[in-house]
Structure 1
Amino acid sequence: MMEAGYKLGGRYRVIRPVGEGGMANVYLAQDLILNREVAVKVLRLDLQNDPDTIRRFQREELAATELVHPNIVTVYDVGEDNGLQYIVMEYVSGTDLKRYIADHYPLSYAEVVRMMTEILAAVQQAHAHGIIHRDLKPQNILVAPSGHLKITDFGISVALSENSITQTNSMLGSVHYLSPEQARGSIATKQSDIYSLGIILYEMLTGKVPFEGETAVSIALKHFQNEIPSVRKIDANIPQALENVVLQATAKEPTERYESVTAMSADLKTALSPLRIGEPRFVSQVSNEETKILPRLQPEHYGNSQVSMTSAAAVNQSTTSSAAVAQAAVSTPPEPPAKKRRRYPVVVIVSLLALIAVIVVGFFIVNQLQPVAVPNVAGMTQRKAESTLIARQFKVGAATKQHSNTVKAGQVIGTTPAKSKKVRRQSVVKMRISTGQKEYVLADYAGQSYSTVVAKLKKAGFVVKRTTVISSRYTNGQIVQQSIDAGKRVVAKGKKITLTVSVGANGFSLLDMTNWSQASVRQYASSMGFTLNTKYDYSSAVQAGTVMSQSPKAGTAVARTAKITVILSRGSEAGGAPD
């Protein structure tokens, strides 16, 4: 991680980190020449030493600088600083689409169409320049405060896809949006991007991805084995035409998907039109086509090339697969009639293909069995912590709210499993989010016993101050009023509250007994009915045998049954009066 203040390339002063992913770290920086904020993405350290990755990284990002479009993050510069490969891009404040969906779901259908149209426009521009993204996912789509979207990471995804296939950090973050052909290890095409776009549209409509699993292998297998779940089963109000866009974009066979992003965009724009009400559900022809058994070609059917060509043409009219068989008949000598071709059961072929698929996909996640330490996200905001955990290939579980006297509201207190504990990637990490210090809702204490209320408030953390008043409405010891209104929510710890307590209707205001003799004090106590508590202390300023101080102080309203303490002077220590 680069420290704040570092000048990258002598031009870009790092302000702070803003993101950390499987491929690169992102920093907010200041362009010292053009005096503007930029985002600087630095290629991950373990990729810095691969010359092929660096070459592709630079080549593709330079190609990405040609993509000038309002929905694509602009790439300003590509450079190197002390061996660090970096890209300077437009800085977009806001959040990514993944977080936006989580915060705003459910989205209105009109908003989904608008946002998806912007995404398609950006990808269309890239495809027009011959650039395939290969890693389209909501995490790579930024949502500006204005609500407009911008796609990022066009070049870096290409560089990683051509690097060693054991680089699974990027793959694991993308497996939910991976096309079937990419999961099998095939080269990504424009139709692969369209598949990913269909999954993104699915998530915008339903708030979740179509396939989940314990491992990336299981998720990838579902992408090329299972049909995409119906969005209308999750939300029956979704128009069939809108679901059809999802279904066609995510067809297993690339040839059944939209031929271009332009075609997908055109279909999406009319998906909410009343004219398309009652539209039938899109059904894949490939997945529903019954398996055809081709007739065996006998040797007499292809005795010469002319006959073989005729047979091939005839078979080609019935099925494409038989054309391949007929063509093989032209170039392959006929087998002896006595030998029979061995036919393998369909179940064996399917099982072999599934086994191969598991091996291929498993190769992508070979490092998943290696445990990794849970990062320390304490003190981060919930959004930042989630981004950090996802970037480290953990799943984010449901967060729990908890009061804290030390952690600010909205920040992470801790995680389960705890920080530094080593667990497998894709493990679920749950966070405890601070709601700040506990707030106390004050009740109306008028008429309640002071002794009962004060015990409760002190236990909650309040600092209670008591005042007294003569009252004919409330009896001695009952609360007359409170300094903080009932119903108000306050943080109790250390909060001061004053309770005014009645001393009854026959209470009285205590006189100032300073300098009174002991006999006068006793006579006053006898006449008023209060209990006198006498104490002594030395004083050279107050005559021995007279009152130095009293508690409560003069003017305090007290009950007739109150206990009043007076301190009588002993005089100076050399010759004080006897007790």
Structure 2
Amino acid sequence: MGEVWLAEDEVILRQVAIKILKQEYMGDPSFIERFRIEAKHAAMVNHEGIANVYDYGEDSGWAFLVMEYVPGDSLARILERDKVLPETKVMDIVAQTARALYAAHEAGLVHRDVKPGNLLITPEGQVKITDFGIARVADQVGLTATGQVMGTVQYLSPEQATGKPATPSTDIYSLGIVAYECLAGKRPFGGDSQMIIAMAQINDMPPALPVELDERVRKLVMSCLAKKASGRPENALILAQRAEALLPTAPRSQAATELIEQIKQVTDRTTEIATLTDTAPQPTQPIVWPWVAVIAVLGLTALSVVVAIIIGSMTPVPSPTVTVTTSSQPSVTSSGGPTAPTPVTVLLADIQGKPISEVLTALTEKGLVAEAIPGTKVALDDPKDMTVYDASPLGNMPEGSSIKVYYYVVDMGEPAPTPEVTQ
């Protein structure tokens, strides 16, 4: 929709990015309005993880945005080059993006177009979200409207694909798709047309992530991809905290900034902090973030060890669980030999009516090989959609057993033929 140019602000002598609406779209009022909305929405949120918009203007038949220049590459280009990213890097991207999204959600905005192309990564690893152009008009845009959401259906949430209003949980689902793509090297759903992909977003379970990945990482990403919003992390802040808990070191995030006041109160460690300040290495490259961010980074450098200690003590908010019981009988043999595998008990009452994503996660945690089977069809607004109604086998079974889980799916009927456009 737009072209981005690097420019120099001759008044305050800083580099900026200028996004110019392509000339072919200038005759369409809806595109011009989307451009204006992008400027207004980005200005509503002040967060280090969201690219600033400094100005908007229209002149001589052109519309343009003056934005913060973010050095680096988009995540889309990084994935084109590297295909797969390390799980710690992915969790860092998820944590930073989720915190920025939470700030937008608190301001009353839902991005609705979270995808790799809208996530910029600086050389220092900071994430910046861009393009709030459809944050308010997404519900007015048809799924196949040319030039609007074409090409982004791979990241649409099930509720967007069915025409329901987008919520903050919509952004969590899209971020889950991004994380899945970073870890697996491909998107979970594909197809030859937007309609096929949209139907997969609504009805299909995503393929399992590679087993080589940390199980906690796999569980977190798959929880974001729950078909129902109730099965996803409660909000973007909780998602960020859970991702940060999986990082080996303290994340570069707003949480660290919020802890500075707590650190100042630890008076018995004044000498140690002073020593760390004297010996901490100084950056050798100039940082091109806005000066406010520079001050925050320099302040955190002196206190990094203490921040890491405090953040390390934080625990993520537990996610909803499905109860799957195990046998209480002793597993040690009478001869005192090695412990035998604990049998797993699955009762229909424990899983019936629960979201399929939660049930699959719980069964997998208990050592079972669970397969989701779409079964009985229900109406589009039926609350039973994507919930479990049966499984086979049930009862006691050894670890490693296979179990089929049947769940309700929406009856979408046969898709209507696409009308031919007459020139």
**Which of 199, 219, 224 matches 2:197?**
219
Shift of 1:160: 6.1
Q: Aligned residue for 2:117?
A: 139
Q: CA deviation at 1:148?
A: 1.6
What is residue 92 of structure 1 aligned with on the other side?
70
C-alpha contact 1:53 1:160 (8 A) present in aligned 2: no
- Residue of structure 2 equivalent to 1:285: 354
- C-alpha distance in 2, partners of 1:119/1:178? 17
Q: Residue in 2 aligned with 1:571? A: none
- Alpha-carbon deviations, 1:519-553, whole Å to 9, x = none? xxxxxxxxxxxxxxxxxxxxxxxxxxxxxxxxxxx
Task: Give the residue type in structure 2 aligned to 1:353.
Answer: M
**Are positions 1:264 and 2:242 aligned together?**
no
Aligned-partner Cα distance in 1 for 2:222–2:95:
17
Aligned mates of 2:215, 2:223 — CA distance in 1? 12
Which AA in structure 2 matches 1:28?
Answer: L
Q: In structure 2, give the amino acid aligned to 1:43.
A: L
Q: How does 1:477-492 map to 2 (within 5 A)?
A: none
C-alpha distance in 1 between matches for 2:68 and 2:220:
31
Other-structure match for 1:255: 230
Change (3 A) 1:240 1:182: same
After TM superposition, the structure 1 = structure 2 runs for residues 97-496 of structure 1, keeping only pairs within 5 Å, are 97-156=75-134, 158-159=136-137, 162-163=140-141, 166-231=144-209, 235-271=210-246, 285-287=354-356, 353-355=412-414, 358-359=415-416
Distance 1:91 1:359 in 2: 45
| Corresponding residue for residue 434 of structure 1 | none
What code does the residue aligned with 1:252 have? K
Distance 2:121 2:51 in 1: 11
Maintained 8 Å contact 2:73/2:121: yes
Deviation of 1:67 after TM superposition, in Å, equals 2.0
Deviation track 1:218-246 (CA, whole Å, cap 9, x = no partner) reads 11111111101111xxx222122211111
Q: Which has the larger share of strand?
A: 1
Change (3 A) 1:73 1:82: same
Letter in 2 for 1:287: I
Q: What's the secondary structure of 1:196's corresponding residue?
A: helix
Are 1:69 and 1:125, in contact at CA under 8 Å, matched by a contact in 2? yes
Provide the rounded CA distance (Å) in 1 between the counterparts of 2:39 and 2:89: 31
| Residue 502 of structure 1: aligned partner | none
Report the Cα offset of residue 101 of structure 1: 2.6
Q: Which has the higher contact order (CA 8 A, sep 6+)?
A: 2
Q: Closer, same or farther in 2 for the Cα pair 1:263/1:354, shift >3 Å? A: farther
Q: What's the offset of the Cα at 1:65?
A: 1.2
Structure 1 residue 49, shift from structure 2 partner? 3.3
Give yes or no for contact 2:85–2:183 (8 Å, CA) kept in 1: yes
Conserved in 1, the CA contact under 8 Å of 2:375 and 2:409? no
Residue deviations 1:148-205, cap 9 Å, x none?
Answer: 2111001355456635655333423211111111112222211111110110111121
Name the counterpart of 1:539: none
Matched, 1:69 2:47: yes
Task: Answer yes or no: is the 8 Å Cα contact 2:95–2:240 preserved in 1.
Answer: yes
CA distance in 2, matches of 1:113, 1:205: 10
In 2 relative to 1, CA 28–252 (structure 1 residues): closer, same or farther, beyond 3 Å?
same
Deviations 1:319-348 (A, max 9, x none): 988xxxxxxxxxxxxxxxxxxxxxxxxxxx
Q: Who is 1:382 aligned against?
A: none
RMSD of aligned Cα (Å): 3.7
Q: Which residue of 2 aligns with 1:446?
A: none
Instruction: Assess, with a 3 A threshold, how the Cα gap between structure 1 residues 258 and 354 changes in structure 2: closer, same or farther.
Output: farther
Give per-residue Cα distances to partners, 1:357-376, cap 9 Å, x unaligned: x449x69xx88x99xxxxxx
CA offsets 1:261-288 (integer angstroms, 9 cap, x no match): 0121122223468999xx9998992338
Q: Distance in 1 between matches of 2:23 and 2:413?
A: 36
Equivalent AA in structure 1 for residue 354 of structure 2: Q
Amino acid in structure 1 at the alignment position of 2:412: L
**Structure 1 segments unaligned to the other structure (5+ residues):** 1-22, 293-318, 322-348, 371-579
Task: Tell me by how many angstroms 1:60 deviates.
Answer: 4.4
Q: Is the Cα contact below 8 Å between 1:198 and 1:249 reproduced in 2? A: yes
Partner of 2:7: 29
Q: Check conservation: 1:57, 1:158, Cα contact below 8 A.
A: no
Q: Which residue type is aligned with residue 115 of structure 1?
A: I
Residue 18 of structure 2 corresponds to residue 40 of structure 1 = yes
Give 1:576's aligned residue.
none
For the residue of structure 2 that corresponds to 1:68, the secondary structure is coil
When normalised by structure 1's length, the TM-score is: 0.44
What is the rounded CA distance, in whole Å, between the counterparts of 2:148 and 2:123 in structure 1?
27
Q: How far does residue 93 in structure 1 lie from its aligned partner after superposition? A: 2.4
Distance between the aligned counterparts of 1:219 and 1:166, measured in 2? 12
Aligned equivalents of 1:78 and 1:191: distance in 2?
30
For the pair shown, the structure with the greater C-alpha radius of gyration is 1
Q: Secondary structure at the match of 1:86?
A: strand
Q: Work out the percentage of aligned pairs sharing the same amino acid.
A: 34
Contact persistence 1:109–1:205 (CA under 8 A):
yes
2:152 is paired with a residue whose SS is helix
- Report the residue type matching 2:180 in the other structure: Y
CA distance in 2, matches of 1:121, 1:55: 28
Secondary structure of the 1:40 match is strand
Structure 2 stretches of 5 or more lacking a match? 249-311, 323-350, 360-373, 377-381, 385-407
| Alignment check: 8 A CA contact 2:169 2:235 kept | yes
